[in-house]
Amino acid sequence: MGFDYDLFVIGGGSGGVRAARMASLAGASVAIAEEYRWGGTCVIRGCVPKKLMVYASEFSTTFEDAKGFGWSVGETTFDWSKLIAAKDKEIARLESAYQANMEKVGVELFEARAVISDPHTVQLSTGQTYSAKHILVATGGAPFVPDVEGAEHVITSNEIFHLDDLPKRVMVVGGGYIACEFACILHGMGAKVTQFYRGEQILRGFDGEVRGHVADEMREKGIALHVGTDVVKITKTDSGLLVRCTNGRDYEVDTILFATGRKANTKGLGLEKAGVEVGRGGEIVVDKYSQTSVPSIYAVGDVTDRVNLTPVAIREAMAFVETVFKGNATPVDHELIPTAIFTQPEIGTVGLSEEDARDQEDIEVYQSTFRPMMHTLAENPERMMMKLIVSKASRKVLGCHIVGSAAGEMIQMVGIAIKMGATKEDFDRTMAVHPTAAEELVTMRDPVRS
């Protein structure tokens, strides 16, 4: 049977675009459909615009720190509209680059919504229908807002990038990395920020000591962080939004940002009709080769809810092309993935938390908390933390956790060593680079506990 395409990709984000390009370069005939904008969550309303906003928000502290180094800094003002305009220009540039790179290698692009009608057929919102030997679903995830009275008044991480003005009073609801990052961003830009999280500590799933350290630093900076607290009801008033919370108190704010999790974007895709198994949260169930329960249909990225990070989606896409179009069965290795969380202070982490490692085997913990050199003359109280989790038996470094400036940059390099199986003695043998904050990683001699 002849097909219109060897591969039809649904979703033009990081995973889908990479799969389409690489499959086309491997000689396949490829089409891709995207209903919103090329680039997906990461490029359009995720990592990229968020990191630009992180940079913008950090200048308020930089101006203050400069005084300690002899700089005279005059009155500073922040113009939200200028930042948003510059951000939009950069996002448009990246989007056109994504589009051009696919067109360059012969991928056919459809700006339309696509749904699956059977294991080899895709129907577009334009009315066109196409057949494909393989279908790849890469539709990502979307913000989830719980059923709270007055939820129609809240915004999510989708809308935060497009507000007309910086709100003066903001409530952030949630305790994951998106909630914590935006609480820090908005605070750095000058908003008065209150953050609610219903759990006992923010950043669930990360190392306990890291979570506590970042929560303390956020409060020290002036973010009103309340754990064990949730929203009961939201009411619109003449002067803003009135929030009733579980502790019985009322708060009035201008904007409420819900960052309470994300769900796989699978609604109305026709998956059930095609026989594709879907999990309880709507995620597509796949094997280690990203193949679904239907042999001709694959899925990569956040829609599979494995490890929801852009580089993971790209790596899954590469492995999919190797497996399906190059005859080289390639599973994706989801172990020891370095991650950065752009809170202020920043977090870089790879490997196991102290809690998870302790459940697994006997360990030693090496830890150092200090005020970095940059902060001494500035009289900035922010403290940095470095932590290594070491196996007593193998001496391998099972986890590394960094909190402080450039933690994300550092963890990328540390991630290579830990992925290679570096031991504590390998770290100790490495000469320190002085004066840097990172030298602490190779100069921690004695465990703080074991």
Residues tagged active-site:
434
- CB 441: neighbour CB atoms within 10 A? 24
**Where do we find the tokens 């086309």?**
24
Q: Which two three-digit tokens encode residue 4?
A: 């219109």
411, amino acid identity: I
Separation CA 193–CA 182 (nearest Å): 10
Q: Is the peptide bond before 143 cis (omega within 30 degrees of 0)?
A: no
What distance, in Å, lies between the first and last C-alpha atoms of the chain?
Answer: 63
Separation CA 142–CA 161 (nearest Å): 15
- CB 409: neighbour CB atoms within 10 A? 13
Separation CA 28–CA 6 (nearest Å): 6
Residues 16, 36 contacting (CB under 8 angstroms): no
- CB 448: neighbour CB atoms within 10 A? 13
With b for 16 or more beta-carbon neighbours within 10 A and e for fewer, the 78-107 pattern comes to: eebeebbeebeeebeebbeebbeebeeeeb
Torsion angles phi and psi, residue 252, rounded to 5: -110, 130
